[in-house]
Every structure is written in C-alpha cells, then in structure tokens.
Homo-oligomer: A and B are copies of this chain.
C-alpha cells in the first residue's frame, strides 16, 4: 500500500494525474483512508504502466479506459487502426518537411526574407491546382481477351490460388506502405509469376492495372474481385519496384 506521493515516486507520474485518472474512472485507488487519502497497491502500479504505454503509442485516455475495462477487447483491430493513423501522420509530416526545406532553401538562395509571403502565395496556388488535376478521372477501357486469363474465383488450381493469396496479402499489408519490404517481396513474386504464367506474351499485370474494374464488373466475369484501392496501391508499389530493380 502506497500513499499518493510514494506512488508518484514509484511511477514518475504526477499526483495531479492520479487524481484526474481517479475522477475519470481510468485508475481508481485500491482503497482510501478514513480521511479520504488515496491508497494504491502493486496492481494499480502495473495498470498505470499499461496506461502509460498505451498513451505513448498514441491512444486517448477514453480509448484506453474501454480497452482495459473489457476483458475481450479486439486488440489487433485497434492496434491496426492506430498504426494506420501513425503512418498517415508520418506522411503528413513528411510533406510538411519537404515544404519547410523548400522554403528554407528558397530563402537561403534569395537572401531577401521579405519574399517569404510571395513564396507562400505560390504554395497556395499550387495546392489548389493540384486538387483539380487529381480529380481528373483516368481512362476505363476493357479488354475481354485479357480478362479470360485472370484467375477465376473458386478455382482450386494452385496457380490461381497463389494469385488470389498474393492479392489478399497485398490488401492485408497495404497499411505498411508501398515501399515496405514485405509489400515489395509480394510485388516481386507477382512479377516472377507473371512471366511464368503468362510467358510475357501479354504484359498481363500492366493490362490488369489499366482495367481498373469495379467489384461489380469483376463479379460479372466471375473474377476474384480486386477493389480500386488495392489496384491503385498495386500500381504504386509496382512503379516503385521497377524503379528500384536492376
């Protein structure tokens, strides 16, 4: 049993925090003295450490509370969600980093600091134009000849099966980003398998990526459905793969 300042020294967390956690019901003292002073035990210390860890990896206290309360929490789900959030944040920061470096270089080259406002204007204009460009839809053409070669759903042929498995893995690990080793290994395997299965007679994957079919269309052809997001991701990963080959 520890008094609140001992508990603070053991954990390195402030007294105010304990009172706050008590108030929001996240971590309650094991008991109280007659006068109302809080008392903690080793159990609370361990729970506090769990809370601290979950906090450092970016969860909010309200989420942590629910996590630790329910006995059968879907940990992998929330960890994945948190991971994708972290990855997005990193990407956002990377963009900011690039902008900052450009600005710093621009200033260094100019030497005239008052030009900063003009540079900032450039950024604003650029971003609005980029939005327009990105909204332009890409071409949607079909090639039934190629479609016939695409692995069919429900096939028990191990070759088709691996295609399905590879696409499935692509989706599963998409959150790692297209440059991730695991993703790149999958792409490489696809590339090798492409030339084995389709003998390079048709640039199969190229066609596949041009088709960009909707789930509805692919069902019509009894194909393994590949959604737009996965196709886009596959394209990015493949471009990256080609760039880093040789």
* Shortest distance from the beta carbon of A153 to any chain B beta carbon, whole Å: 13
Given A49-B121, A90-B97, are A169 and B158 also a contact pair (CB < 8 Å)?
yes
Looking at the complex, which one of B90, B157, B168, B193 makes contact with A90 (CB distance below 8 Å)?
Answer: B90
Looking at the complex, which one of B72, B93, B120, B165 makes contact with A50 (CB distance below 8 Å)?
Answer: B120
How many monomers of this protein are in the complex? 2
Tell me whether A192 is interfacial, beta carbon within 8 Å: yes
Closest to A168 in B: B158
Q: Is the interface of A mostly helix, strand, loop or mixed?
A: helix
Within 8 A of B (CB), among A122-168: 123-125, 157-159, 161-162, 164-168
Q: Are the C-beta atoms of A79 and B93 separated by less than 8 Å?
A: no
Q: How far is the CA of A100 from the CA of B87 in the complex (A)?
A: 11
Residues of B within 8 A of A185 (CB): 192-193, 196
Within 8 A of B (CB), among A81-117: 82-83, 86-87, 89-90, 93-94, 96-97, 99-101, 103-104, 107-108, 113, 116-117
Q: Are the C-beta atoms of A107 and B75 separated by less than 8 Å?
A: yes
* Shortest distance from the beta carbon of A105 to any chain B beta carbon, whole Å: 10
Q: How far is the CA of A108 from the CA of B192 in the complex (A)?
A: 28
Q: How far is the CA of A72 from the CA of B117 in the complex (A)?
A: 12
> Considering only CB atoms and an 8 Å cut-off, how many residues of chain A contact the other chain?
60
Q: Are the C-beta atoms of A172 and B192 separated by less than 8 Å?
A: no
Residues of B within 8 A of A79 (CB): 100, 103-104, 107
Closest to A74 in B: B113
- Chain A interface (Cβ within 8 Å of chain B)? 46, 49-50, 52-54, 56-58, 72-76, 79-80, 82-83, 86-87, 89-90, 93-94, 96-97, 99-101, 103-104, 107-108, 113, 116-117, 120-121, 123-125, 157-159, 161-162, 164-169, 171-172, 182, 185, 189, 192-193, 196
Given A53-B123, A158-B167, 11 new contacts (CB under 8 A): A50-B121, A57-B100, A75-B103, A75-B107, A76-B108, A86-B100, A89-B93, A90-B90, A93-B93, A162-B165, A162-B166
